[in-house]
Chain A
Amino acid sequence: MAPFDLVSLLGVTGSYFIYLAIGFAFGFILESSGFGDSRQLAAQFYFRELRVVKVMFTAIVVAMILIFWSTALGLLDYDQIWVSPTYLWPGIAGGLIMGIGFIIGGYCPGTSLVSAATLKLDGIFFLLGNITGMVIFGETAGLINTFWNSGYFGTFTLPELLHLETGIVVVLVTCLALGMFAGFEWIRGLIYGRAK
């Protein structure tokens, strides 16, 4: 039953090859979907171009369905998967900062890596800014320790929040994603006319 301990199964070197293969596939899809181009990423916010948002949310929905189907069939132990604990207030603050940074800079931390991989200057500088920000945060995190640990809810997921069965939440999230795609297309049509 997954998740598998790759190191004990394949050894350290063998596991590195798996990481390499997954990283290659991930990078290939990101770059070919336009995640490495700040103009395409910024265009999502103005509904001019929707490829990135569609790829991202389709990936989320497919991963969600695969995870919970695998769990239902006994192929995966969901409880062994790391689900980040919720720290509500710092989460909201961090989301705001990242959102502003994304729309101003054209990248999020991950996409700046994709961009830097193709040696785009804006991506490289964004990445350098990321690293500098991380170092400064690391050195000053102690000053905001109380806030940083506030709003702790442990591992808190949508089924617990909504008091619904996991399967129902999966359906709702799928409908939300599909509805969002249709809604965004409609808005794009309104603003820019029908897509060619």
Chain B
Amino acid sequence: MAEIVDERRGKRVGIAGHPYSALFLPVPIVCFTGALITDLAYVNSGGNLLWLNFSCWLLLAGLLFAVIAGILMLVDLARLPQLRTNIGWGSFGLLAGAGVIEFINSLIHARDGWTAVVPAGLILSAIGAIVVMSHGWLWHESRYGPGVRA
């Protein structure tokens, strides 16, 4: 909890004094990478719709939390000049990019059956997962600097 008040970077947006980042930021990362896994399971099962339904809900949950996390990131970026680095903006941009990709992906996933995933849905899930993981990786760095000192 050392990041609540960080002398070098100042106080970030928090809820009841606790920072939001641990609460909201991981959810899109987990959900979007999860959707890639359930997409692969769908393809591998030859079209068991259970996996398609999982993917749809993971995309929706990831999108909802990505919007919340994105807003809170913007607030931090606006308040804390030391965050407005290439890495800080880059991390935000990657989250926004993942949101756009996965929004389109959720429209693709709303199709009925195989074409909800193959091929466009699966491709977007893979790209979205890579982008959202890059976002998390950079945001971590923007908080702690190069190297892991958490």
* A, B: real partners: no
